[in-house]
Amino acid sequence: MPIPKDIAYDKIGDPTEDNVLVFVDEFGGAKYFDGKYIPHDGRKYRCDGIAKLRSGKQLRAKFTLIPKKDSVFIFNVICYLDGLWYNHNERELFERLEVKESDATPIECTPDRMLRGHSGPFIIEE
For residues 85, 18, 24, 6, the Cα torsion angle rounded to the nearest 10 degrees is: -30
Provide the whole-model pTM.
0.88
Query: Per DSSP, what are the bridge partners of residue 60?
Result: 50, 80
Task: Give the model confidence (pLDDT) of 5-47 as tens digits.
Answer: 777 766 777 888 888 989 887 777 889 999 999 999 999 999 9
Q: Pick the more confident residue, 8 or 78.
A: 78
Strand, coil or helix: 15: coil
Query: Which residue range is the domain that position 49 belongs to?
Result: 5-123
